[in-house]
């Protein structure tokens, strides 16, 4: 007898055994149900309970019997399904990671369209989001750069699973900036401090009220302590003959570099020659 004939006869035998099992169990259930209906049990509830138990037992016997008859085929099917699922997960790993990163990003509320963020050294304004990727309008690298490069950066959402996201728009369209100038450690540094504070106040004065409102809204929303937005100067003394004056001030995100330059120009317009000047950006919302 050929292999195909043996396989066909085996399948016929399996089907016949399955049909016989179902027929025998159904006949037994019918016989037991008929006997219960003719029994001397007077309680209708008890009779219905026995009928339900007979029906459930018959169904269980059929399921267990069919599983025993077809156990070899079911085992092969389970192995095939497991292999298929493993191959599917392996082939769509990046897709699954991107979808997971999208869910994490949405649940955490890390950023929204219009926010300026930095991820893995890339900075830019979020211009589009999908389930798989996030697109940025790139901004120049480094904390002092606020100009668009004209390039578009597309990030896979899987990046947000392992990489911290810095949101520079944490208080709306405002950020805190720091400008550092170096002066001689003589009696003139107090005057330089006063002029630097005045320059910062004049440059960002029109925006102070709006920045303060944005910061208060964020504090109320996140349960944070209220912080002051008015410009203030801190002092560093890295050497015996130099003093660093560091002024912190708020600025609109899109004009942060322009406000910074205005502060520096206002200060330099009445200052003595200095040995150096620099600027750096604080994390948004730091007090």
Q: What pLDDT, on a 0 to 100 scale, did the predictor assign at position 134?
A: 92
- Phi, psi dihedrals of residue 13, rounded to the nearest 5°: -65, -40
Contact 135, 154 (CB under 8 A): yes
> Among 23-32, 99-108, 186-195, which is the least confidently predicted range?
186-195
Sign of CA dihedral 255, 256, 259, 264: negative
Residue 286 has pLDDT above 80, yes or no: no
Mean pLDDT (the chain) is 79
241-272 in b/e form (b: 16+ CB < 10 A) is ebbbbbbbbbbbbebbbebbebbbebbeeebe
Reduce the DSSP state of residue 94 to 3 states and report it.
helix
Q: How far apart are CA 110 and CA 88, in angstroms?
A: 30
Q: Quick one: pLDDT band at residue 225, thresholds 50, 70, 90? A: low
Model confidence at 287, pLDDT cuts 50, 70, 90, reads very low
* The two three-digit tokens of residue 220, written as one number: 């109320």
Say whether pTM exceeds 0.85: no
Q: Is the pLDDT of residue 245 over 80?
A: yes
Question: For residue 245, is it left (φ>0), alpha (ψ between -120 and 50) or beta?
Answer: beta
Mean per-residue pLDDT, 49-72: 85
- pLDDT top residue among 101 and 274: 101
Average pLDDT over residues 218-247: 77
pLDDT computed for residue 10 by the predictor: 66
Indicate the helix (H) or strand (E) that contains 249: strand 242-252
User: What confidence score (pLDDT) does residue 135 get?
Assistant: 92
Alpha helix (H) ranges present in 127-252?
Answer: 189-204, 208-222
Look at residue 277 and tell me whether its pLDDT is greater than 80: no
Confidence of residue 85 (pLDDT cuts 50, 70, 90): confident
Residues sharing a CB contact under 8 Å with residue 110, sequence separation 6 or more, in sequence order = 117, 160, 165, 167
């Amino acid at each position: 007898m050929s292999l195909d004939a043996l396989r066909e006869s085996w399948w016929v035998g399996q089907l016949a055994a399955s049909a016989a099992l179902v027929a025998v169990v159904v006949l037994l259930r019918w016989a037991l149900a008929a006997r219960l209906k003719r029994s001397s049990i007077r309680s209708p509830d008890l009779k219905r309970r026995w009928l339900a138990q007979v029906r459930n037992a018959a169904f269980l016997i059929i399921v267990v019997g069919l599983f025993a008859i077809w156990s070899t085929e079911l085992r092969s099917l389970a192995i095939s399904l497991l292999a298929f699922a493993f191959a599917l997960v392996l082939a769509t790993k990046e897709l699954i990671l991107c979808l997971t990163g999208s869910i994490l990003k949405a649940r955490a509320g890390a950023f929204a369209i219009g926010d300026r963020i930095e991820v893995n050294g890339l900075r830019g304004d979020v211009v589009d989001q999908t389930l798989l990727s996030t697109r940025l309008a790139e901004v120049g690298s480094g904390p002092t750069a606020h100009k668009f490069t004209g390039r578009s950066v597309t990030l896979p959402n899987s990046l947000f699973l392992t990489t911290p996201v810095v949101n520079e728009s944490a208080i709306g369209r405002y950020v805190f900036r720091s400008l550092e100038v170096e002066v001689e450690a003589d009696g003139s540094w107090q005057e330089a401090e006063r002029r630097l504070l005045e320059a910062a106040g004049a440059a960002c004065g029109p925006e102070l009220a709006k920045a303060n409102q944005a910061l208060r809204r964020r504090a109320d929303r996140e349960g944070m302590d209220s912080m002051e937005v008015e410009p203030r100067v801190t002092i560093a003394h890295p050497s015996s003959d130099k003093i660093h004056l560091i002024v912190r001030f708020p600025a609109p995100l899109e004009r942060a570099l322009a406000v910074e330059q205005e502060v520096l120009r206002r200060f330099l317009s009445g200052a003595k020659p200095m040995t150096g000047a620099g600027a750096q950006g604080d994390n948004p919302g730091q007090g």
